[in-house]
Amino acid sequence: MGASAAATCNRTTGTGCTLIPITDDQNANGSYTTPANFYPYFTAAAAGDSCQWMFGANIPGLTTNDFGKNAQYGPLLKLVYPASGGHGATISRYNDFRGILANVPCAGQSENGGGGNGGGGGGN
C-alpha cells in the first residue's frame, strides 16, 4: 500500500501534523503537502442588539470578531489515553489543537431564550 495524506502526521511526536488538512493531491515526488483551500473557523457576528456565534468564515457587514481566523485553534495538543490492555498504563498522542479565548464576546443563551444561566426562569 502506498503513502497517503493521512500518513503525514506522526501522532507520537507531532511531526508533520498540520491544522489545515492535507489534501489527497499527490505531488510530483509522491509526497502529500498541499493544504486544503479552505478550513472553517468560528466568528462572532452582530445584527442589531444580538450577538451570535458563526462557523465558516468572515461575513462582510456581519462578522465583528474572527478570533485570528485559523490561528484561533491554537497549538498542537498532546492528549493522554488509557492503553488498551495496559492495566492502568497510558499512551500519549497528538490528535488535536487547542486555543483558549481570552474573552467570550457573546453571552450564553438557553434554547428557551433565557439568559446565560441555562434557563429562562424567574426566581424573582
| Per-residue pLDDT at 97 | 93
Task: Give yes or no for a contact between 5 and 22, defined as CB atoms under 8 angstroms apart.
Answer: yes
What is the spatial distance between Cα 72 and Cα 89, in angstroms, rounded to a whole number?
32
CA 20 to chain centre: 10
Q: Is residue 77 scored above 90 in pLDDT?
A: yes
Model pTM score: 0.66
| Per-residue pLDDT at 108 | 60
Q: Which residues of 80-96 are buried (b: 16+ CB within 10 A; e: fewer)?
A: eeeeeeeeeeeeeebee
Q: Please give, one letter per residue, the 3-state secondary structure of the chain.
A: CCCCHHHHCCCCCCCCCCCCCECCCCCCCCCCCCECCCCCEEEEEEECCEEEEEEECCCCCCEEECCCHHHHHCCEEEEEEECCCCCCCEEEEEEEECCCCCCCCCCCCCCCCCCCCCCCCCCC
pLDDT tens for residues 43-57? 998 877 788 888 999
Q: Is residue 121 scored above 80 in pLDDT?
A: no
Average pLDDT, the chain: 80
